[in-house]
């Protein structure tokens, strides 16, 4: 008898939790997403993984070659094999990211807070899914024009979801030119490129 | 015996209820505050395919924190303590299974997001620390399931009232039987 009462109570708690969750979903202004939204209007899928958008980005990178500008970083790094290290399909190589950095693109670090504090790409802002809706995240976003080129990085590699998540949220917020650096901060630092630590 | 019950309630059941319930309420509020990050965290565990079960992940991101909050509050006030404890225990078991899934699959690099953007005892990266923490949290769950919320819980007040009502109705029926017996 007591056992049945407990099971009934558990079901009631779960049911009430579900109803509260539905209520919260209705009251929320921005829908919860799991990946970047489709950029084409004829797509039938509501949820699309960020990979597809990253592929679009690759097309954009290839069709819109970045104008070569005087490199502000010392030339010896140009020969560093790390610059052309293979990256997951659709993501920026270190060389492409460096060129964008020299062109004044905005860089966003989406690793853990303590990793960011210990060292990050010079001028990079800290923005992750956790801080996105916080005052800190909103303050960071106001400094970036929606049409600016934004490069997002984390620890690098295919499994680094943090960059994809931040990209999806930025895209939802109206940012249009978003790219992901295929290598992580460690590779950037190992190539001798400019870094800084949080004060 | 009564003194022992009081001692157990004050020294064990009450601190366990406040500690465990408070922890879950805190964790729930952090998640409710940023459902988006929690949805990403569930996706990051790679238990469900986001392409096929995206809506399920989103529903879980909305529901789990509220279940934690409701069960946590019930545990703190000691109302329906066993049901609340069972709900939290089941969630802990599911969390442990999820953590083990990530630990044993080296291709998954997931953040726990157990307490939102805060770290409690363990770092945010999924590892054995979180498993041990959750197993430790299962100890008071098992104890409270076995012994209930104790004397200081609301349950005990309602149980006492129920007992009084039962005894009153029993005594009334006994009187009626006696009356009938006398009449017979």
Q: Which range, of B44-48, B60-64, B133-137, averages the lowest pLDDT? A: B44-48
Closest residue on chain B to A130 (Cα):
B37
- How sure is the predictor about A134, in pLDDT bands with cuts at 50, 70 and 90? confident
User: Comparing A84 with B39, which gets the higher pLDDT?
Assistant: B39
Chain B contact for A55 (CB, 8 A cutoff)? no
Residues B58 and B71 in one domain: yes
Find the mean pLDDT for residues B35-45: 91
Q: How far is A31 from chain B (nearest CA, A)?
A: 8
User: Of B66, B37, B62, B55, whose CA–CA distance to A25 is shortest?
Assistant: B62
Residues A79 and A125 in one domain: yes
Chain B contact for A6 (CB, 8 A cutoff)? yes
Chain B contact for A52 (CB, 8 A cutoff)? no
Closest residue on chain B to A112 (Cα):
B124
Residues B15 and B96 in one domain: yes
Give the number of domains in chain B.
2
Find the mean pLDDT for residues B42-46: 89
Option in B36, B61, B62 nearest A169 (CB): B36
List the domain range (segments joined by +) for residue B7. 2-152
Find the mean pLDDT for residues B11-37: 93
pLDDT of residue A35: 78
When the pLDDT of each residue in chain B is averaged and rounded to a whole number, the result is 86
pLDDT of residue B1: 57
Residues A15 and A57 in one domain: no
Option in B32, B50, B111 nearest A24 (CB): B32
Residues A17 and A93 in one domain: no
Residues A15 and A41 in one domain: no
Test A130 with B113 for CB contact under 8 angstroms.
Answer: yes
C-alpha A59/C-alpha B5 separation (Å) is 71
pLDDT of residue A72: 53
Residues B71 and B120 in one domain: yes
Residues A153 and A126 in one domain: yes
Name the phi and psi angles at A102, rounded to 5. -65, -30
Exposure letters B38-69 (e unless 16+ CB within 10 A, then b): bbbbbbbbbbeebeebbeebbbbbbbbbbbbb
What is the DSSP-derived secondary structure letter of residue B125? B
Q: Which range, of A67-71, B15-19, B79-83, B111-115, averages the lowest pLDDT? A: A67-71
pLDDT of residue A88: 82
C-alpha B66/C-alpha A13 separation (Å) is 9
Let me know: does B85 contact B141? Beta carbons within 8 Å.
yes
Residues A13 and A106 in one domain: no
C-alpha B46/C-alpha A199 separation (Å) is 36
pTM score of the predicted model? 0.78
Strand-pair category, A195-196 with A120-121? antiparallel
Residue of A14, A34, A37 to mutate, interface with B, max B Cβ within 10 Å? A34
Find the mean pLDDT for residues B130-143: 94
Residues B146 and B157 in one domain: no
Residues A74 and A106 in one domain: yes
Test B111 with A112 for CB contact under 8 angstroms.
Answer: yes
Chain B contact for A3 (CB, 8 A cutoff)? no
List the domain range (segments joined by +) for residue A1. 1-30
Residues A48 and A7 in one domain: no
Radius of gyration of chain B (CA): 22
CA angle A159, A163, A166 (to 5 degrees): 140
Residues A4 and A66 in one domain: no
Option in A9, A34, A160 nearest B80 (CB): A9
Residues A83 and A10 in one domain: no
Test A17 with B69 for CB contact under 8 angstroms.
Answer: yes
User: Comparing B28 with A89, which gets the higher pLDDT?
Assistant: B28
Test B40 with A129 for CB contact under 8 angstroms.
Answer: yes
Residues A111 and A185 in one domain: yes
Residues A13 and A44 in one domain: no
User: Of B38, B46, B125, whose CA–CA distance to A112 is shortest?
Assistant: B125
Q: How far is B78 from chain A (nearest CA, A)?
A: 13
């Amino acid at each position: 008898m007591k056992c049945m009462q407990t099971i009934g109570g558990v079901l009631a708690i779960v049911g009430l939790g579900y109803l509260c969750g539905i209520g919260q979903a209705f009251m929320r202004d921005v829908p919860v997403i799991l990946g970047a939204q489709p950029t084409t209007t004829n797509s039938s899928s509501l949820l699309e993984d960020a990979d597809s958008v990253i592929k679009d980005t690759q097309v954009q990178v290839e069709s819109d070659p970045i104008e070569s500008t005087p490199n502000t970083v010392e030339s010896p790094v140009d020969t560093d094999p790390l610059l052309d290290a293979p990256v997951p399909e659709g993501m920026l190589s270190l060389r492409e990211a460096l060129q964008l950095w020299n062109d004044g693109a905005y860089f966003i670090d989406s690793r853990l807070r303590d990793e960011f504090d210990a060292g990050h790409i010079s001028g990079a802002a800290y923005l992750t899914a956790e801080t996105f809706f916080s005052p800190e995240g909103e303050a960071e976003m106001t400094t970036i024009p929606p049409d600016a080129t934004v490069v997002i990085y984390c620890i690098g590699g295919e499994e680094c979801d943090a960059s994809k998540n931040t990209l999806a949220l930025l895209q939802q917020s109206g940012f249009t030119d978003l790219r992901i650096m295929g290598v992580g901060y460690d590779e950037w630092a190992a190539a001798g490129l400019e870094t800084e630590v949080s004060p | 015996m009564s003194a022992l019950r009081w001692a157990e309630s004050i020294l064990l059941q009450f601190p366990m209820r406040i500690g465990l319930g408070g922890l879950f309420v805190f964790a729930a509020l952090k998640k409710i505050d940023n459902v988006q990050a929690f949805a990403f965290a569930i996706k990051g565990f790679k238990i469900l395919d986001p392409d096929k079960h995206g809506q399920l992940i989103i529903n879980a991101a909305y529901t789990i924190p509220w279940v934690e909050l409701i069960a946590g509050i019930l545990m703190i006030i000691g109302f329906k303590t066993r049901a609340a404890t069972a709900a939290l225990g089941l969630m802990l078991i599911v969390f442990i299974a999820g953590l083990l899934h990530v630990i044993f699959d080296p291709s998954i690099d997931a953040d726990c997001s157990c307490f939102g953007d805060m770290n409690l005892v363990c770092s945010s990266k999924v590892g054995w620390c979180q498993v041990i923490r959750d197993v430790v949290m299962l100890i008071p769950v098992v104890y409270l399931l076995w012994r209930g919320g104790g004397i200081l819980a609301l349950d005990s007040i309602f149980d006492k009232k129920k007992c009084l009502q039962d005894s009153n109705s029993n005594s009334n029926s006994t009187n009626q039987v006696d009356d009938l017996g006398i009449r017979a």
